[in-house]
């Protein structure tokens, strides 16, 4: 009788299966709905607009982030002026464009200088991206 | 004989226990990774055309009106200060003539947000020939 009870216990469905199912679904949701990109710096306050066009990124563009303290951050961390200039002159930047995420508090002159540098380097498609303003 | 082999087969299969623990570990690590690196924010592109202040204007328009951004809620047009940075107020100024180009000039240390707000309001008010002045490459 005792052996029978033990055998039944062996055949009972594993209680962790629903957990695995849910976690796998969560993984799928993050993989499909989320975008893997360079994290924003601490305290980043994005520019806000009301009626900007959705950005159609092709996934290979050069992404730059300008923090509130003026740092320019690329895929691999902080960039100095020379590195920014090299990046803007790269074939990747010229072919796919440059997307710039800007902190709203940074002086306009710095952002415009970066845009001018991109234009100067021959980047035809340098855009500033913003977030939708919460009404 | 068939019944015996079936019983042995069943027992043999029942003894193979697949451990789910490594699978759970891997799936959890994947979940944590995607939670940390995923971003759901949808970014939107704005069209800001810089014009280097010392450069020669490529515009074919004869008249250029300079709009200076003084602060978040003040801008200057032809020496007059305005505080309402909305499309309706800008449209009421009577700007937007076809043969006129507009140059938005950020004041010293003015943040980018008020400049973008003004450019957006001017575009909404029907002004398309506008550029934003920059001192050039740093």
Residue B126 has pLDDT above 90, yes or no: no
Which residues on A lie below 8 Å from B110 (Cβ)?
107-108
Mean pLDDT of B122-138: 80
Q: Which residues pair with B104 in a beta bridge?
A: B67, B132
Please list, in sequence order, all residues whose beta carbon lies within 8 angstroms of the beta carbon of residue A90, skipping any fewer than 6 positions away: A62
Distance (Å, whole) CA B31 – CA A22:
11
Q: What pLDDT sits at residue A65?
A: 92
> Is B45 in contact with A17 (Cβ distance < 8 A)?
no
Who has greater pLDDT, A131 or B136? A131
pTM for the structure as a whole? 0.72
pLDDT of residue B135: 73
Residues of A numbered 7-36 whose beta carbons fall under 8 angstroms of chain B's beta carbons: which are they?
10-11, 14, 16-17, 19-20, 23-24, 26-27, 30-31, 33-36
ipTM higher than threshold 0.90: no
Highest mean pLDDT range out of A18-27, A55-64, B127-136? Answer: A18-27
Chain A environment of B109 (Cβ under 8 Å): 107
pLDDT at residue A97 above 90? no
Strands A48-49 and A126-132, sheet pairing: parallel
The helix (H) or strand (E) run that includes residue A111 is helix A108-120
Buried b (16+ CB within 10 A) or exposed e, B29-60: ebbeebeeebeeeebbbbebebbbeeeeeeee
- Pairwise CB contact (< 8 Å): A39 & B37: yes
Pick the residue from chain B with its C-alpha nearest to A16. B20
pLDDT tens for A112-124 read 989 888 988 888 8
- Residue partners of A119: CB distance under 8 A and separation at least 6: A126, B50
* Average pLDDT over every residue of A81-104: 89
B110: phi then psi, degrees, rounded to nearest 5: -75, 135
pLDDT per position as a tens digit, B9-53: 555 555 677 777 888 888 889 988 888 888 777 788 888 888 877
């Amino acid at each position: 009788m005792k052996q029978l009870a033990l055998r039944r216990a062996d055949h009972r469905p594993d209680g962790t299966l629903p957990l695995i199912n849910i976690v796998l679904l969560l993984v799928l949701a993050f993989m499909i709905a989320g975008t893997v990109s360079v994290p924003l710096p601490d305290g980043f306050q994005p520019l806000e607009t009301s009626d900007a066009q959705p950005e159609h990124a092709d996934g290979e563009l050069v992404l730059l982030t300008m923090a509130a303290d003026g740092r320019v951050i690329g895929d691999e961390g902080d960039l100095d002026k020379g590195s920014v200039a090299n990046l803007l002159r790269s074939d990747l930047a010229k072919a796919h464009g440059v997307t710039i995420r800007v902190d709203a508090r940074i002086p306009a002159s710095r952002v415009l200088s970066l845009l001018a540098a991109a234009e100067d380097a021959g980047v035809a498609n340098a855009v500033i991206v913003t977030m939708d303003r919460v009404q | 004989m068939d019944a015996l082999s079936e019983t042995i087969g069943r027992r043999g299969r029942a003894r193979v226990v697949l451990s789910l623990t490594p699978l759970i570990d891997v799936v959890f690590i994947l979940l944590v990774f995607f939670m940390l690196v995923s971003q759901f924010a949808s970014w939107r592109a704005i069209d800001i055309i810089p014009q280097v202040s010392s450069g020669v204007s490529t515009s074919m328009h004869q008249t250029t009106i300079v709009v200076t951004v003084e602060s978040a809620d003040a801008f200057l047009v032809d020496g007059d200060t305005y505080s309402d940075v909305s499309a309706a107020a800008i449209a009421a100024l009577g700007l937007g003539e076809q043969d006129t180009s507009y140059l938005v000039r950020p004041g010293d240390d003015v943040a980018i947000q008020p400049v973008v707000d003004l450019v957006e309001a001017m575009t909404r008010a029907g002004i398309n020939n506008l550029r934003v002045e920059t001192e050039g490459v740093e």
